[in-house]
Structure 1
Amino acid sequence: MYASASNTFDFFAKTGNLALGSRLRRLSNQFTEDAKRVYALYNVELSPKWFPVYYVLSETNEMAITEIAQTIGHSHPSVSKIVKEMEKAGLVELNRGVEDGRKNTVKLSLKGRAVALNIQDQYLDVSEVVDELLSSTTNNLLRAIEDMEDLLSEKGFYRRVYERRKERESGQVEIIHYKPIHKEDFRSLNYQWIEQHFKVEQADRDSLDHPEEKILVPGGHIFMARYRGEIVGTCAMIKMSDDCYELAKMAVKESVKGLGIGWLLGKAVLDRARSLGAGKVYLESNTILKPAINLYRKLGFKRVANHETPYERCNIQMEVELK
C-alpha cells in the first residue's frame, strides 16, 4: 500500500529541512513522470533524462561529449551513457575519435532534427505552465534553485556538513592543565606518535619519563586535551629563556584527528606564553609531518635556522613572534 498524500506531508512537516534531498527527489520524480506523459502527448520520442543533451545539440551543429558534459553540468560517463541511448533510438550520430575516445563528437540525426520541429509547441505550452506555477508560489523556485546551486558550487553540501560536525565536536574538546594523574597519558600519547614515524631518542625519554622535573619545574607548562571525558591530546611549552618558550611534545590520538585539537593546543601554548610576557615561541619538527607543518604555519610560525637541536629527526625549526 502507498502512503496517503496527507501522511507524506505530515512526514515532511516533521522532518523539516532534514528531508530536503528527499523532498527535492520526490518533486523531481513527479516532474519526470508527468514529463513522460507530456512527451507522449506531443508525439515527441524523447526520454526526459535526454532533454539537456538533446537541447544543447539542437542549438549547435556538433559537439564533443566533454563539451556537452561541461555545458549541462553532468559527468562525462553520464553524458556518454545518454548519448549511447539516444544513438540507439536513432536521434543522434556519434563520430568516434580514433586517437582519444573522450573526444567523440555528437550531432542530431535527421530523425533528431525532425523532433526539433515537433517539440516547438511543447516548449511553448510547457513554458507557459511553468510560468503560471511560479507566479502562483510565494517564492520563486527557479531563483531559489539558482541561489542554492551558486552556494553549493562555492562549497559542497558534504563539505558544509563535515565542517559543521567538526565545529560541533571541537566544541566538546576541553584544554586543561596537566596534573600528576596525566603523566601516563602524556607519556603514552607522545611515545605512540614518535614510534609511528621515527625512533625514540634520549631527549624524548628525558622529558616524557620525567615531565615534572624536565618541563614544569624549570618554568614550563603542559596542556592536555580532553574529549568526552577521555584524554586525547597533549602539548608542552618548555622554557628556553624569559623571552622564549618552545612548543614541544604535541600529540593527538589518531581516532580524533580532524577535530582541530592540535589547533586548540597550539593556541593554548601561544596564549600562555603571551600572558607570561614572552616575545616568541619556537619549535622543532620534521617536514614529513605535513599536517603538523601546515598547522604551525596557520598558527603563525615561520621557518628559522641555526638553532642547536638534541633531536636527530629535526630538519625544520620555526618561530612565531608574539610582540
Structure 2
Amino acid sequence: MNLYQSLGFLVFGSRLKRLSDTFLSDVNRIYKAHDIAFDAAWFPVFYILSQEDAVTISSIATQLEVTHSAASQLVSNLQEKGLVKAGTNAEDARKKVVSFTPKGKKILDQVLPVWTALQTAMEQLVAEGPNSAHMLQAISEMEAGLAREPLLSRIENNL
C-alpha cells in the first residue's frame, strides 16, 4: 500500500486532484496528438452549445453550477479564441446569448469523435474494477452531502 492509500481521507482531495490532473492531461494530449486546437477545460461550454444552438450565460452558469462571473469568464476565453460569439437576446437585451462561430463548429466536429472514444475508454476502465462502477454515484452522494453541510463545518464540529 502506498502512502496515499495508507492515509485514507487525509489525502482524499490530493488523490482526486492527482486523478483529475492525470485525466485532463491525457485528454489534452489526445487533442494535441490529433491536431485539434482544443483544451479539456472548454468541454463544459462546448458540450452545452453542442446540445443547444444558442444559450444565455445565465443558463451556462446554472447548468455548470458556477457563478455568472465564472461562466462569463469561460465564454470570454472562448470568444478570445474565436470559437464562440455573444450577442444580445432578442427578448431581453440585458442577457447575452452565446453560440458557436464557424471556427467553433469546426472544432466541435473534430472533438465529437474524441468524446465518443473517451466515453468508451472510461466505460472500459470502470469495468476493470468491481468498485469502479459505483464511482460516479459515490461522487454524487458526496457532493450532495457537502451541499447539505460543508466540510468546513463538519471539521469544526469534530474539533
| Structure 2 Cα separation of the partners of residues 27 and 64 of structure 1 | 32
Query: Could you state the TM-score of these two structures normalised by the residue count of structure 1?
Result: 0.45
> 1:143 offset after TM fit, Å?
2.0
Q: Verify: 1:149 aligned to 2:143, yes or no.
A: yes
* Structure that is richer in helix per residue: 2
| Structure 1 Cα separation of the partners of residues 52 and 153 of structure 2 | 36
Any conservation in 1 of the 2:84–2:100 contact (CA below 8 Å)? Answer: yes
> 1:10 offset after TM fit, Å?
3.0
User: What letter corresponds to residue 119 of structure 2 in structure 1?
Assistant: S
Question: Of 16, 22, 25, which aligns to 2:17?
Answer: 25
Question: Of 102, 109, 113, which aligns to 2:101?
Answer: 109
Any conservation in 1 of the 2:46–2:108 contact (CA below 8 Å)? Answer: no
Any conservation in 2 of the 1:62–1:107 contact (CA below 8 Å)? Answer: yes
Query: Could you state the TM-score of these two structures normalised by the residue count of structure 2?
Result: 0.86
| Structure 2 Cα separation of the partners of residues 127 and 108 of structure 1 | 23
Question: Of 49, 63, 82, which aligns to 1:71?
Answer: 63
Identity of matched residues, % = 27
Residue in 2 aligned with 1:159?
153
> 1:122 offset after TM fit, Å?
1.1
3-state SS of 1:119 partner: helix
Q: Once the two structures are superposed, what CA deviation does each residue of 1:71-98 show, in whole Å capped at 9, x if it has no partner? A: 0122222221111111111110012579
Residue in 2 aligned with 1:315?
none
Q: Which runs of 5+ in 1 are unaligned?
A: 1-8, 166-323
| RMSD between aligned residues | 2.0
> 1:99 offset after TM fit, Å?
6.5
User: What letter corresponds to residue 143 of structure 2 in structure 1?
Assistant: E
| Structure 2 Cα separation of the partners of residues 23 and 63 of structure 1 | 35
| Structure 2 Cα separation of the partners of residues 73 and 42 of structure 1 | 31
* Higher Cα radius of gyration: 1
Q: Verify: 1:80 aligned to 2:81, yes or no.
A: no
| Structure 2 Cα separation of the partners of residues 48 and 124 of structure 1 | 14
Question: Of 28, 43, 48, which aligns to 1:56?
Answer: 48
3-state SS of 2:7 partner: helix
Count of equivalent residues: 155
> 1:11 offset after TM fit, Å?
2.6
User: What letter corresponds to residue 153 of structure 2 in structure 1?
Assistant: R
Deviates more, 1:116-125 or 1:48-57: 116-125
| Structure 1 Cα separation of the partners of residues 137 and 128 of structure 2 | 14
Residue in 2 aligned with 1:301?
none
